[in-house]
Amino acid sequence: MSSIVLGVGASHSTLMNTHWDQVVHTDRAEAFRDGLAAARDRIAEARPDVVLVVGSNHFRGFWLDLIPSFTLGVGEVIAAGEAGTPKGPQHADPAFAQELAAELVGGGIDVAISARLQIDHGQSHAIQYLLDGIDVPVVPLVVNVFATPLPTTTRCAQVGEAIAAAVERIGGDRRVVVIASGGLSHQLPWPSDWTTPDGEDEEFLVEAWLNGRGEWERFDQRRREIIVAAQPCIFTDFDERFLADLERGELRPYAELTTEQIAEQAGNGGQEIRTWLVMAAALGFRAGKALAYAEMPEWLTGMSVAVIDATEGNA
């Protein structure tokens, strides 16, 4: 019987790679980076045989022509490599991924599969920092958090619980770490609803989201210019409350929030807390530990790192 031994939640931002020299709040940036390093050490100590990376996709692997709510990479995993993140084929575990997919479907979760999944910084940022120097295969689970309608937070929790049950049914005594990549609060200069873009920038972004398959690089320079020019909007109160609830093992109520409520309380980028809910549910909503929190306007995001140890607390 395989088992989940550790959960990690970590924010991502490519601006961390490309705009470090422009950081004003250097102490905060370093605190977040140190938190990533501490989480990386916890992962190494957990001795995983495979890492399930639950993350979003920023329209470099999925486009508006087809976006499932949940997609599991069951074959090749290829990183887009934007903004200094890993690029090219990643170390994967197709056999475990295929078994996990079969168990999830058998357990009532109709997860989509991809035998050649392109991921972007929504997952490769975690690979870059949290798995640095750790030779372990990854299995990506991509959650749609940007193209409405989004999967409900309730469904995300159900998927996490189903992952825990599925892993236990898989033989081989594998030790599994679950990483959630994304969040916390931030407001991206993206249309809140792709069907009603407002202004030239949003119209351009929707065009990129629709027509980017196979040529996302053609849209990337202007898209990045739009993002870098955005005014930061971070909801620190939400972030601190979310992390406090994680430490108390009380994240389950967040699985009742609607898309509109999350947008109001944590911005459109806050929709990425869905990945944290998948991870926390897979760990039985145990109490965890926040390793770092940094309000980073330079990166447009409330950046956090936290861990949930399967050997601590009660499910």
Catalytic residue numbers?
Answer: 121, 186
CA pair distance 225, 223, nearest whole angstrom: 5
- Beta pairing partners, 72: 113, 141
Q: How far is CA 165 from CA 9, 103, 108, 238, 307, in A?
A: 20, 9, 11, 30, 20
Distance, first Cα to last Cα, the chain: 18
Contact (CB, 8 A) for 315 and 284? yes
CA pair distance 44, 216, nearest whole angstrom: 34
Full DSSP string of 111-122: -EEEEEEEE-HH
The SS3 call for residue 39 is helix
CA pair distance 131, 36, nearest whole angstrom: 10
Contact (CB, 8 A) for 278 and 157? yes
CA pair distance 298, 269, nearest whole angstrom: 15
Secondary-structure breakdown of the chain: helix, strand, coil percentages, each rounded to the nearest 5? 45, 20, 35
CA pair distance 188, 146, nearest whole angstrom: 10
- Beta pairing partners, 92: 138
Q: Is 198 exposed, middle or buried (0-12, 13-18, 19+ CB in 10 A)?
A: exposed
